Structure 1
Amino acid sequence: MTHRIPNPALFLAALVAGLSYWAASHILPAGAVLAAWKGAGVALLAVWAFVSAPTTAGRWIALVLAFGALGDVLLETSGLTVGAVAFLIGHVLATALYWSNRRTARDGTTPAILLMLGVPLTAYAVSGSPGVLLYALALGAMAATAWISRFPRSQVGAGAVLFALSDLLIFARMGPLAGSIVPDLLVWPLYLAGQAMIAVGVVTSERAR
């Protein structure tokens, strides 16, 4: 990272909350406490982004992260469909942010097209669900526009790809990875890393301008 992380204590608290949830989820039974714990990591990232980059893009990514935290909680309390709606809204907001801050140069167009098409096609191939396909269209758009945005590709673009990979592993539980331990081990770390990288990339970029 080329810029110092602002408000490091708050950022560290977000990471600790997120990483500790991953450990707790393998020990504690499902319930309100675990659901709140799950949402705490990304919710703290949202707060961190909000206070660390008081710009339009900084507040915008904070809102995107807030919908991610809401989705985390709703997945545990209200089911996959309701939780997915919160994430879908977040992806639409993120896509609008990245598109409105796209690069003037056209480098990265090919990877972006591959993400735009590959994410939803892969999601449908592993799940066979039209509903998953609809959600994954927004997920692919989010990842594709993140890749061509002016924000650091090594953070925001790569973070969006990690987010997409995390969701693809969830969808694979409906098909080729049903009963596999792989999603249990990788979904949350990939997701948390992706969200943290996105938040850092946008915030540090805004502070450097």
Structure 2
Amino acid sequence: MVVKRALADSRPWLLLSLIAGISYYFLRDNNIPGLYLIIWKGLGVGFLAVFAVVRHHSTDGRLMAAIMAFGSLGDMLIEIDMIYGAVAFLIGHIIAIALYLRHRRARLAFSQRLFAIVMVPCVVLIAWALPFDRSGGPGIAIYTLFLGAMAAMAWTSNFPRYRVGTGALLFVISDLLIFARLGPLDGSVLPDLLIWPTYYFGQFLICTGVILTLRHKDPRVAA
């Protein structure tokens, strides 16, 4: 009942996020002025940041809001310069790692621990190997080290894996598709079709999974 009520109370912000995120996907190739389209792109995850900060008045709620805020900033900056966008996302990953470390799962099965350990080097190596232009390899490796660590920490946190863990993996897939577009998938329609949906719905699952779990654990600081 607590989760159902939380969803009902938070519908405006989640609805605004879904409207912005889904509409951007279908209208991004229309003749919309660049600045407006950049702002539009940032609104999908930006509304998730508002949802997080108003739905749970705690340090963890503010951390999640910051993660989404830097994600929104990254969404917009990447349209101006890929490096600027990557820095914003990198900051978000660092904050996310800190949040997940505060909520470590007490017990992990061997397979779950192994998956998290293997995930980090695999993500780094795959991303590093994808672009044809090798000059950006070191930067990609540094960025994806934090990306992989974020996903591994999400997977081993006590937040629900079917939401937060899956959302983090979708984020990883989205970024790998970006790097693949610079290499073997150059000219393919797959990155254009899949990058935004995997990223946006990954962020949506992460944010809602964390906040609803926090509300269930400590409803005293919930709005």
Distance, in Å, in 2 between the alignment partners of 1:187 and 1:29 is 20
Correspondence for 2:71: 68
1:143 paired with 2:151, answer: yes
Choose which of 101, 104, 113 in structure 2 pairs with 1:102. Answer: 104
Sequence identity (%): 48
Is contact 1:17-1:40 (8 Å) kept? yes
Correspondence for 2:216: 208
Matched length: 207
Choose which of 113, 123, 131 in structure 2 pairs with 1:119. Answer: 123
Tell which deviates more after alignment, 123-132 or 67-76: 123-132
- 1:115 counterpart letter in structure 2: M
Correspondence for 1:26: 29
C-alpha deviation, 1:29, in angstroms: 4.9
Distance, in Å, in 2 between the alignment partners of 1:186 and 1:56 is 33
Q: Normalising by the residue count of structure 1, what TM-score does the alignment of the two structures yield?
A: 0.95
Query: Structure 1 regions of 5+ residues with no counterpart?
Result: none
3-state DSSP class of the match of 2:62? Answer: helix
3-state DSSP class of the match of 1:3? Answer: helix
- 2:48 counterpart letter in structure 1: L
Choose which of 144, 159, 162 in structure 1 pairs with 2:167. Answer: 159
Correspondence for 1:85: 87
Query: Structure 2 regions of 5+ residues with no counterpart?
Result: 218-223
C-alpha deviation, 1:109, in angstroms: 0.7
CA RMSD of superposed structures (Å): 1.3
- 2:206 counterpart letter in structure 1: I
Distance, in Å, in 2 between the alignment partners of 1:47 and 1:114 is 34
C-alpha deviation, 1:117, in angstroms: 1.6
Tell me which stretches of 4 or more aligned residues in structure 1 moved more than 4 Å: none
Q: Normalising by the residue count of structure 2, what TM-score does the alignment of the two structures yield?
A: 0.89
Distance, in Å, in 1 between the alignment partners of 2:209 and 2:123 is 22
Is contact 1:28-1:34 (8 Å) kept? no
C-alpha deviation, 1:104, in angstroms: 1.0
Is contact 1:124-1:133 (8 Å) kept? yes
